[in-house]
């Protein structure tokens, strides 16, 4: 009897152990498939988002200044004076060219009527260009917006390197004063223009009213100016970009 009970107990224990082992088995994971899925996901997530062609072009596109003008004062008058050069776009047209025994003027105009003007004024001693209005004064803020290619050098025997670095300056009228009635400048949100000037001219200037081509000159064995004006005193964004590029190209012809 005791032997029968022991045999029954051992058989029950074996059955329970067998069931436990069966319950602990798990379905094997296909390792190769799992690794491939992770690799595919990694490659997909690391791909860069393509940049649209139009966006890329807008960032890298440059203005095409495919026309070049060479000033003619020295050539026409058969005198030793440097030629200046500047580049411009096809949507700007040379609308005026004048050369006399003392002066030269060249005007570029676009379809809206904005102008870029080169002026050489000779026949006037340094410091004797004129004083402008006797009663009206203007306060002007000049700020550099780009570098200029113009590098001063020798004209005849005089070295003009002391003029220093040149820039394209934005000039904005910020105040006016009638000296007969005003005791100080009256603030105004005035006209914007651009000019090639020595960098040391930037800042605030208070001056009598003068034409822009006269106001924004520098002495280079004669008075020279290269300026831009808009018909309403304000440039469009596209015009401003073009004007700055054209003025930046102003330079002396290599001899």
Residue range 104-126, pLDDT digits in tens: 999 999 999 999 999 999 988 88
DSSP summary character for residue 47: S
| Range from 142-146, 189-193, 204-208, 222-226 carrying the lowest mean pLDDT | 204-208
The domain locations on the chain are 65-252
Calculate the CA 123 to chain-centre distance. Answer: 36
Residue bearing the bigger pLDDT, 213 or 220? 220
Residue with tokens 């050489």: 120
State the Cα–Cα distance between residues 9 and 67, nearest whole angstrom.
109
pLDDT-derived band of residue 62, with 50, 70 and 90 as boundaries?
Answer: confident
Total number of residues shown for the chain: 255
Q: Token digits for 78? A: 């058969």
Count the alpha carbons within 13 Å of 109 in the hemisphere toward its beta carbon.
Answer: 9
- Cβ 199 vs Cβ 146: under 8 Å: no
Residue 2's pLDDT is: 42
For 64-71, what is the mean pLDDT? 96
User: Does residue 164 carry a pLDDT above 70?
Assistant: yes
Report, as an integer, the average pLDDT of 200-208: 90
Give the model's pLDDT for residue 129: 79
**Whole-number Å distance between alpha carbons of 67 and 64:** 9
pLDDT beyond 70 at 7: no
Say if residues 117 and 226 touch (Cβ distance below 8 Å).
Answer: yes
159 C-beta neighbours (distance < 10 Å), count? 11
pLDDT of residue 43: 37
Please report how many Cα atoms fall inside a 13 Å half-sphere around the Cα of residue 150, on the Cβ side.
33
Model confidence at 167: pLDDT above 90: yes
């Amino acid at each position: 009897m005791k032997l029968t009970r022991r045999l029954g107990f051992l058989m029950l224990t074996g059955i329970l152990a067998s069931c436990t082992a069966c319950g602990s088995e798990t379905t094997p994971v296909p390792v190769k498939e799992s690794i491939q899925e992770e690799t595919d996901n990694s490659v997909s997530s690391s791909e860069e988002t393509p940049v649209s062609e139009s966006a890329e072009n807008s960032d890298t596109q440059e203005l095409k200044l495919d026309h070049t003008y060479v000033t003619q004062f020295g050539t026409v008058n058969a005198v030793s004076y440097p030629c200046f050069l500047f580049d411009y776009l096809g949507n700007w047209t040379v609308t005026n060219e004048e050369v006399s025994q003392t002066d030269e003027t060249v005007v570029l105009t676009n379809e809206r009527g904005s102008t870029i003007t080169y002026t050489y004024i000779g026949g006037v001693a340094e410091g004797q260009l004129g004083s402008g209005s006797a009663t009206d004064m203007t306060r002007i803020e000049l700020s550099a917006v780009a570098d200029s290619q113009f590098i001063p050098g020798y004209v005849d025997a005089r070295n003009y390197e002391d003029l220093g670095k040149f820039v394209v300056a934005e000039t904005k009228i910020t105040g006016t004063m009638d000296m007969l009635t005003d005791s100080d400048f009256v603030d105004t949100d005035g006209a914007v223009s651009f000019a090639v000037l020595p960098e040391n001219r930037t800042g605030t200037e208070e001056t009598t009213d003068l034409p822009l081509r006269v106001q924004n000159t520098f002495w280079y064995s004669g008075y020279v100016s290269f300026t831009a004006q808009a018909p309403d005193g304000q440039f469009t964004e596209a015009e401003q970009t073009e004007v700055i590029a054209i003025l930046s190209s102003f330079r002396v012809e290599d001899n």
